[in-house]
């Protein structure tokens, strides 16, 4: 099979032909049709991600395709089923072997591309907002990076939970994307100071205390500005550090305003909370089937063009979600 292989940390993956995977006990082999592109992909090939596979390895976390083979202990009736799954790595390839209990049937009417765009971004936002930060109807949520892969899903998920959303994005085009996904207010951080703009919005709409929850996949100065516009008792979700700058949190501000800073790493959360994971994914799939959330794929790349997809993430030209099409698919 063809696969994009990371042969040296710090270098781009290259196309290689490797042996097809074989299903072991309790495993399935999936013909991969689409694999989502995530900022974490750029970190894992640089050796900077929480999970560090041995080199060489195939990057790629979230896949969608068709079960083509099963191992001992797996019902062969699932061969031919359209499924999605999250992998530790291995997604930018034509096939993958995974434990059978990791796969999720793709709902009718959902394409491979949308299924591959769905799992990590919506999963991160849904579980972070609903279970980690316990967002309640009527609260005010500030979403940073709201035109990016996880940011747009955070806007949608916060609205499903009944919150009002203030979104930040860079430039008019990206601000419009956040607005189209349901943001009530949008701040162009390239033209406005975030903290000042948020406080102004809150004062004009009788949210005098500030925002209740912050969703931050950016870090750096964005995190520092968030501390200046939150309500007492606010919850700050640390999702990632797309800016490349990990903030040093001033504990005195946390103390004075009774603020909680909550780290959220989706993969570990699923492993640590299996029952919540099942319930939460069922919620997500219901909202997907009902059209309450809508995966938005902005660009599709061929398998050989994975490095170009990574470049779009690094230079911040990417909006919404990008997907690699690993083979031709009817849908």
pLDDT in tens, 121-162: 999 999 999 999 999 999 999 999 999 889 999 999 999 999
Supply the pLDDT for residue 292. Answer: 87
Question: Is residue 81 pLDDT above 90, yes or no?
Answer: yes
Mean pLDDT of 62-81: 97
Point out the domain boundary residue: 221, 244, 267.
Answer: 267
Contact of 29 with 69, CB cutoff 8 Å: yes
The answer on 131 and 63 residing in a single domain is no
Q: Which of 69, 83, 72, 86 is nearest to 21 (CA)?
A: 69
The answer on 257 and 175 residing in a single domain is yes
Distances in Å between the Cα of 318 and the Cα atoms of 109, 114, 155, 201, 203 are 26, 17, 17, 28, 33
Supply the pLDDT for residue 267. Answer: 80
Split at pLDDT 50, 70, 90, the class of 285 is: confident
Question: Is residue 17 pLDDT above 90, yes or no?
Answer: yes
Which tokens hold the place of 225? Answer: 């500005």
**274 is a domain residue:** no
Question: Is residue 329 pLDDT above 70, yes or no?
Answer: no
Tell how strand 321-325 and strand 260-263 pair up.
unpaired
For 215, phi then psi, to 5°, come to -110, 110
The answer on 303 and 191 residing in a single domain is no
The answer on 262 and 126 residing in a single domain is yes
pLDDT in tens, 152-210: 999 999 999 999 999 999 999 999 999 999 999 999 999 999 999 999 999 999 888 89
Q: CA 186, CA 161: separation in Å to the nearest integer?
A: 19
Q: CA 49, CA 41: separation in Å to the nearest integer?
A: 8
**276 is a domain residue:** no
Question: Is residue 233 pLDDT above 90, yes or no?
Answer: yes
Residues near 314 by beta carbon (within 8 Å), at least 6 away in sequence? 42
**287 is a domain residue:** no
**288 is a domain residue:** no
Split at pLDDT 50, 70, 90, the class of 268 is: confident
Mean pLDDT (the chain, rounded): 93
Mean pLDDT of 232-260: 92
**186 is a domain residue:** yes
Q: Could you tell me the sign of the dihedral formed by the alpha carbons of 286, 288, 289, 290, in that order?
A: positive
CATH label of the domain that carries residue 183 = 3.90.180.10
Question: Is residue 318 pLDDT above 80, yes or no?
Answer: no
**140 is a domain residue:** yes
The answer on 234 and 144 residing in a single domain is yes
**277 is a domain residue:** no
Split at pLDDT 50, 70, 90, the class of 331 is: low
Point out the domain boundary residue: 222, 251, 267.
Answer: 267
The answer on 139 and 87 residing in a single domain is no
**164 is a domain residue:** yes
Supply the pLDDT for residue 71. Answer: 97
pLDDT in tens, 45-66: 999 887 889 999 999 999 999 9
The answer on 246 and 156 residing in a single domain is yes
pLDDT in tens, 209-230: 899 999 999 999 999 999 999 9
Mean pLDDT of 18-44: 95
Q: Tell me how many domains the chain contains.
A: 2
The answer on 233 and 309 residing in a single domain is no
The answer on 177 and 144 residing in a single domain is yes
Q: Quick one: CA torsion of 6, 32, 154, 179, rounded to 10 degrees? A: 100
The answer on 243 and 157 residing in a single domain is yes
The answer on 200 and 83 residing in a single domain is no
The answer on 129 and 104 residing in a single domain is no
Mean pLDDT of 22-40: 96
Residue with tokens 């939150």: 230
Residue 226 is part of which domain span? 120-267
């Amino acid at each position: 099979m063809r696969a994009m292989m990371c042969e040296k940390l710090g270098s781009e993956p290259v196309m290689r032909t490797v042996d097809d995977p074989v299903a072991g006990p309790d495993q399935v082999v999936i013909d991969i049709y689409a694999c989502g592109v995530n900022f974490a992909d750029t970190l894992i090939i640089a050796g900077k991600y929480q999970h560090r596979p041995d080199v060489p390895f195939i990057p790629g976390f979230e896949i969608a395709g068709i079960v083509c083979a099963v191992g001992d202990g797996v019902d062969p009736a699932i061969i031919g089923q359209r499924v999605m799954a999250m992998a530790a790595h291995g997604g930018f390839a034509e096939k993958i072997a995974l434990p059978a209990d990791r796969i999720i049937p793709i709902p009718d009417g959902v394409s491979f591309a949308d299924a591959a765009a769905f799992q990590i971004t919506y999963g991160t936002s849904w579980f972070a907002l609903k279970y980690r930060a316990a967002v309640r109807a009527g609260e005010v949520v500030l979403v940073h990076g709201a035109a990016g892969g996880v940011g747009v899903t955070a806007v949608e998920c916060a609205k499903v939970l009944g919150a009002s959303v203030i979104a930040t994005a860079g430039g008019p085009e990206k601000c419009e994307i956040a607005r189209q996904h349901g943001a009530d207010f949008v701040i162009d951080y390239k033209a406005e100071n975030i903290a000042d703009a948020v406080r102004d919005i809150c004062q004009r709409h009788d949210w005098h205390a500030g925002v209740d929850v912050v969703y931050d996949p950016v870090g750096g100065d964005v995190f520092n500005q968030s501390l200046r516009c939150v309500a007492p008792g606010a919850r700050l979700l640390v999702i990632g550090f797309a800016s490349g700058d990990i903030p040093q949190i001033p504990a005195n501000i946390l103390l004075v305003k009774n603020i909680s800073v909550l780290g959220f790493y989706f993969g570990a959360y699923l492993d640590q909370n299996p029952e919540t994971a099942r319930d939460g994914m069922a919620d997500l799939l219901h909202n997907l089937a009902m059209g309450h959330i809508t995966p938005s794929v902005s660009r599709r790349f061929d398998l050989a063009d994975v490095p170009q997809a990574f470049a779009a993430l690094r230079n911040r030209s990417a909006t919404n979600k990008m997907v690699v099409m690993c083979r031709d698919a009817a849908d």
